[in-house]
Amino acid sequence: MKTLHILVCVGMVVIAGYVLAQTTAAPPTDSDTPNSAPTAPNDQVSAMQPSKTRVTPFLMFEGQAEEAMKLYLSLFPDAAIESVEKYGPDEMGKPGTVKLASFTLAGQRVMCIDSPADHDFTFTPSMSLFVDCEDEPQLEKLFAELSKEGKVMMPLGDYGFSQKFGWVSDRFGVSWQLNLPKSE
């Protein structure tokens, strides 16, 4: 049973694999980490006491948040909108654009806004949403829909770490790493 379907990933896929390997490895000993302070049992999060801290991807658009959210919701069968708040006529943002929205994709909560301020930056591929697909048809559908009017950074293929993988930037600039894991 897969418990993690979307993983926020920084950098290349190798980092995601390293992080996943580290979460299943035994805790480091002092000899494993020569330049760090000794680890203590209290430094580790207990499975019995889950943390109340939550990490949530937050996507900042410039007038396209609702359109992007609708696209993403259409691609994942278990996706849902949690909340949408829009700017009113006397607020900082353009009236009717997204002030704050929250939605879920494959169990992962995502938040988004339409920025009320102009800025000189946008999304970057060094921060992406990593999706472990259930099967090849799902992978191919996501790749086709997300790359439409976007950019293919790595075409679908076998890169050695999974059955099939592709990396795209959608038409809004959001980066997606789409993966079909190796069979267990």
Whether residue 25 is predicted with pLDDT greater than 90 in this model: the reply is no
Which residues span the domain enclosing 151?
125-184
3-state secondary structure of 34: coil
The answer to whether 168 touches 176, Cβ cutoff 8 Å, is yes
Q: Which of 117, 134, 149 is the last residue of a domain?
A: 117
**Rounded Cα–Cα distance for residues 79 and 103 (Å):** 7
- 96 and 140, same structural domain? no
Question: CATH code at 69?
Answer: 3.30.720.100
Q: Report the Cα 83 to chain-centroid distance in Å.
A: 19
Q: What is the DSSP letter of 84?
A: E
Q: Is the dihedral of CA 19, 142, 107, 67 positive or negative?
A: positive
Asked whether residue 45 is assigned to any structural domain, the reply reads no
What pLDDT was estimated at residue 45? Answer: 53
Q: Which helix (H) or strand (E) holds 24?
A: helix 13-24
Q: Which residue, of 95, 117, 139, is where some domain finishes?
A: 117
- In this prediction the pTM is 0.73
132 shares its domain with 171:
yes
- pLDDT tens, position by position, 68-121: 999 999 999 999 999 999 999 999 999 999 999 999 999 999 999 999 998 899
Give yes or no: residues 85 and 134 share one domain.
Answer: no
Characterize the bridge pairing of strands 151-157 and 164-169. antiparallel
Q: How many domains, in total, are found in the chain?
A: 2
